[in-house]
Structure 1
């Protein structure tokens, strides 16, 4: 790698949105007749594919994108007051100190994203990519590289979901799956990521090993 660039998926990696997602889903479920998520189901759901989660909760597969967009919309009001994942800010500073470029890909609004970054003293990314659709990760990775004229072999994509890892594999980009987001470690392993990180510091250790 000539110039390493670490690209972060935003929700679930930089900010832990899982509990908020559960809260928002239960609000949607109450109006649409889905099964609500009980506290003791959260870990079980983290081990299931998105399709199996839909089956368990009685969400028709064709409605999943709509539910996802409604949850994403609910994030925007909450973002400014949310805290970054513990240890993430330090990781970003450590990466910058080592002259490693950092970027993110998100479908959040620019306004909400900017407020979150400023409030958490993390507004110093080299590359920012705002997607219009949370379900186009493979396309977003390709567009990210084109927009910033970056080589795929110099990128490492950090995600918290199996679909992140699969998108990186499809784009032939190295990937790091993190276990503090949505999907469990066994589920992430199904996608065969380059590395699994249990805490932010693990990412730095992996990069230095590379």
Structure 2
């Protein structure tokens, strides 16, 4: 079966603004640099290692910071909204016979909460979380093996450079979306299979990838 695997943050759910607010709360307690509007603009033009260097945060501390952010989001019951056009696109894919899944660095608890709030839970065959934000390629490989999927029949959809890199390492096609974390300009540099600029374009892009 042809399978479409989605990233969560910045692809399905608009979590950036809430993420920045929670990060700034954490930053005040941990003596980390705060994100202002200027820094927010930088987020879209740099990879995570580049951002860590820009803000003088040791790269080894980034996974722990992300873990703390995820915990705070769950604790505070942050309600994220789906990007406009995502819900009908998911239904269109499902009704057309595609198997849908999610692989994310966010927690399964946060993702399940979102899916339940948006009445989308039944659309997805699996939801898998990877705690290591730099280990998504390994998680993709594990899910492909567990779900008994053929790589040529799998496409990953994400909004970050690391999503493209993970899909390349896992040997599957990847569609990059421009409404999330990284800008179209930087996404293009990492050569995704396709780039889409609106959720309404996802369905046709998926069909083109699978031929």
TM-score (ref. length: structure 2): 0.90
Does residue 21 of structure 2 align to residue 23 of structure 1? yes
Kindly provide the CA deviation profile for residues 10-37 of structure 1, in whole angstroms up to 9, marking residues without a partner as x. 1221111111221122122212222211
Kindly provide the CA deviation profile for residues 59-103 of structure 1, in whole angstroms up to 9, marking residues without a partner as x. 122211111111121222355632211111100001112111111
Of 34, 54, 57 in structure 2, the residue corresponding to residue 56 of structure 1 is 54
1:139-154 to structure 2, matched below 5 A, reads 139-154=138-153
Match of 2:8 in 1: 10
Match of 1:92 in 2: 90
Aligned-pair CA distance for 1:195:
0.6
1:1-210 to structure 2, matched below 5 A, reads 3-78=1-76, 81-135=79-133, 136-209=135-208, 210=211
Measure, in 1, the Cα distance between the counterparts of 2:68 and 2:6. 22
The answer for unaligned runs of 5 or more in structure 2 is none
Aligned-pair CA distance for 1:132:
4.7
Aligned-pair CA distance for 1:43:
1.8
Measure, in 2, the Cα distance between the counterparts of 1:78 and 1:87. 26
Higher mean alpha-carbon deviation, 191-200 vs 68-77, is at: 68-77
Higher mean alpha-carbon deviation, 157-166 vs 55-64, is at: 55-64
The answer for unaligned runs of 5 or more in structure 1 is none
| C-alpha RMSD of the superposition | 1.8
Aligned-pair CA distance for 1:161:
0.8
Q: Secondary structure at the match of 1:124?
A: helix
Measure, in 2, the Cα distance between the counterparts of 1:94 and 1:131. 25
Q: List structure 1 segments (4+ residues) > 4 angstroms apart after TM superposition.
A: none
Measure, in 1, the Cα distance between the counterparts of 2:197 and 2:44. 15
Measure, in 2, the Cα distance between the counterparts of 1:106 and 1:162. 14
Give the conservation status (yes or no) of the 8 Å contact 1:6–1:158.
yes
Inter-CA distance 7–201: structure 2 relative to 1 (3 Å threshold)? same
Aligned residue pairs: how many? 208
Higher mean alpha-carbon deviation, 174-183 vs 184-193, is at: 184-193
